[in-house]
């Protein structure tokens, strides 16, 4: 009688929706698979977001470099370029180069106040630097130091057959590839900045 009662109770428990041990193991395994899939998707979304953020940041870095140089060149009265040991640019593609400009001072109140500014591409350190002075700026043999300010690092020519930065009588050409942010594709700067409103170049005392 007791055995029959226990059998009926077990049947009633199953009929009321209970799970067997095997069913619980199967459900647990399925749940684990689902959690692994969801976790992988979330990790991929996070990686994609990090890459987008790095790419946007690197693009901003490139735009800032271009804006700084473009603004100063547009207000310049003369431009010049030089290479180590007077090496011609055609014989030194991708090497060190110094661009000099006489430009309107950003700090002086009078619009006719001028200052010397220079940009140096360091092919060994893969960086571009800027220097300002009231007098001529010498080629930084051995690399920039002291008051030179780094505008960007991890910089290389976007076209290795050309200089990273060059100057003509009235313009500066940027040919740069920046890799400032890990995980992002290099940001390219290929632009030309022109002097505005100067018909007779004046270079003294800068060069």
CA distance 117 to 133: 6
Is residue 99 within 8 A of residue 118, CB to CB? The reply is yes
First-to-last alpha carbon distance for the chain, in angstroms, is 115
CA distance 50 to 154: 19
List of residues 6+ apart from 126 with CB closer than 8 A: 153, 154, 155, 156
List of residues 6+ apart from 125 with CB closer than 8 A: 143, 153
pLDDT at 83: 85
pLDDT at 56: 85
pLDDT at 130: 96
User: What does pLDDT average to in each consecutive run of 10 residues of the chain (207 residues)?
Assistant: 51 58 86 89 84 84 92 94 67 83 76 88 93 93 88 90 91 92 85 87 89
């Amino acid at each position: 009688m007791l055995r029959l009662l226990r059998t009926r109770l077990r049947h009633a428990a199953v009929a009321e929706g209970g799970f067997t041990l095997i069913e619980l193991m199967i459900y647990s395994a399925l749940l684990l698979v689902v959690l692994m899939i969801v976790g992988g998707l979330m990790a991929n979304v996070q990686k994609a977001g990090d890459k987008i953020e790095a790419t946007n940041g690197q693009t901003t870095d490139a735009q800032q470099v271009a804006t700084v140089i473009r603004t100063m060149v547009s207000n310049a009265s003369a431009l010049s370029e030089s290479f180590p040991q007077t090496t011609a640019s055609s014989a030194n593609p991708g090497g060190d180069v110094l661009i000099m400009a006489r430009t309107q001072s950003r700090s002086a109140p009078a619009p006719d106040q001028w200052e010397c500014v220079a940009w140096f591409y360091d092919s060994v350190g893969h960086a571009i630097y800027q220097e300002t002075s009231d007098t001529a700026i010498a080629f930084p043999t051995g690399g920039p130091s002291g008051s030179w300010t780094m505008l960007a690092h991890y910089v290389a020519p976007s076209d290795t057959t050309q200089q990273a930065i060059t100057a003509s009588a009235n313009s500066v050409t940027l040919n740069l590839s920046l890799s400032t942010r890990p995980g992002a594709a290099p940001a390219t700067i290929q632009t030309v900045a022109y002097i505005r409103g100067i018909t007779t170049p004046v270079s003294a005392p800068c060069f």
